[in-house]
Structure 1
Amino acid sequence: MQTMESDIYYIDFDKSDTEDTTGPQTPNNHQDEGKAQKCRGSRCLVLMTVCLGLICVLLLVFISLYITITAERDLLKSYKNTFEEFNHTINSLQDNYTDLMTENDQLKSNFSFLSQKKLELETRVTSLSEELEKEISKQGFLWGADGLFISSESMSWSDSRKFCRDQEADLIIINTEEKQRFITALFKERVWIGLSDAETEGRMKWVDNSPLNQGFWYKGEPNSHGGNEDCIVLHPTDTSLNNWHDYPCSHKMTCICEK
């Protein structure tokens, strides 16, 4: 029986449909196909590497842009906050300035009011002083809050004492340093006080007949100059606390009366 030989066909199921799969295949064709597949794999690997590199570059660019934008956004936010604080400070200063101007206007108004009141008071004081001077000239003396008064007319020592008695008082008695200091500071002219040695030369007595225990004599006083200086004068113009002088009782000067 005769055996018939058949042609052997190799079918590559991995081939593309566009390739001819019906023709006979040889070993050289297999090698070429393997090389082609290797080349395509290498190109795919390079392409994938390039794509991955581009993605990495794009990712780096994106990250850089994100960081830059974030930094600029934070900086802009910081600028905005600074600007708002600056505006707030300006508004606060403007409010303070307005308050200060209001207070300044109020102070000016108060000053004007007080100046007017001062002028009115000065006018009133002048008027009262004039009335007081007229009253003094009518009565001849001025009472003080401490029961002292000074005559407005100059008189002899005896007339001064009579004047004081007519006012239900008498010439002042100065028997303490505090009182001497007070009278010296209170009056600015020579005045009679209630001390004399008219009855007995050299024996000073007060108008209530009490003896002199402490005197405030000026240096060299009493000296009874001329033999007729028997009445005592307080001389406030002397700077020292010791300012008593003996004078002739007939001299005329103002006096201090004391209730």
Structure 2
Amino acid sequence: MRQIVASAQSVRLLCPLAPVSWTSPVSWTSPHLICSILPTWTHKAPYSTFEIPAWLCWNGLTSAPGFMEITSEWALLGYRLSTCLGSSQRRFHGGVVFVLGLLSVFLLAGLIGLGVHYHSVRSSAEDISVIIDNLTERLQDSNNKFCSVSEERDLLLANLTEITKEMEKLQSLSVHNSVIMNNLTERLQDSNNNLSSMSEERDLLLANLTEITKEMEKLQSLSVHNSVIINNLTERLQDSNNKLSSMSEERDLLLANLTEITKEMEKLQSLPVQKKTCPAGWRMFRRSCYLRSNESGSWFTGRQDCREKGADLVVIDSTEEQTFLSTFTEVATWIGLTDRDEEGTWKWIDGTPLTSRYWRSNQPDNGNGDPQWGEEDCVHIRAEGKTGDNWNDLSCDASLRWICEKNAGL
């Protein structure tokens, strides 16, 4: 931007960033002003001052004070200034210097633009290099994973081939195995049936042998009825011998025991008839003595008391004895039956299994799982029940009376 200060005597041209000194005459033309001046050049930052006689300016300038804004182009300004020089050589040199100055400015601006562009391109190149490195690493990782997956696939294919072969072999064996399994199942079922039958027969024989043994012990103290009992035992022994003939080693052992019992029976037949008696306070039924306790206690306490008296808790082995004991006691009393060794397997205290049962309805129930009753592993006779079904299972720690039993003495 340039400004001209006009007065009656002169026109002052204000040029920013003008040279320090310039003594060449200037001829300058603008759309509104043509001046031929010989400037008196002095440097006053930031402007240089030209003194222009007012009578040398025309085309719109008057002697009144005022300002004019000049917007002409730099190249045209240089050319027109050069035409105002008094000397052609000075005009030429001034124009060249001015144009060279403009070219230097444009060149500097171009160099600055190229530097900025180069810096931008270099930064972009570095970013592209980093991106290429990242993509290369990711591509390498993908290749490694692909190789690993390929190896796993080959291994799985090999395993699948082996499994397919094994399946074909198993399918060929399935029919044969099915026939074998059916045969084995049938043979196992037959064996189970035979074993069950033999087990029942063995238990029956054991029960018979137990009863016979008890009878033998009682026969040692028999009186008048020895001959009748011996005949009954002989018949039962004969039946046992017939059944034992079909058994294995266990049955042979039972037969040997029965043979010894038979010999004892023959000896008893020659014994004189003797009268049996019971201690004071004991009650006799057939060939046994019975005592009902006066105090109460647990099942274990009752058994210990009986043993101290040379007896044990009563063992019921006949309906007649069950009827006798039901009328003998008027309160609940312990008897010698328990399943403490194995839940649900009831045995007498002498080790014989339970054969005759006189349970109340819905008994035994082991307390129906009610914690307040606990494990009911011992048996007692209920006084209010019928003579045929008055047994009940109860906790062995309950406090009841008990009945002791022992053989009658001579």
Instruction: Tell whether the structures are fold-level matches, with TM greater than 0.5.
Output: no
Greater RCO between the two (CA within 8 Å, min separation 6)?
1
State the TM-score bracket (shorter-chain normalisation).
Answer: 0.3 to 0.5
- Superposition TM-score, scaled by structure 2 size: 0.28
Q: Over alpha carbons, which structure has the higher Rg?
A: 2
**Length-normalised TM-score, structure 1:** 0.44
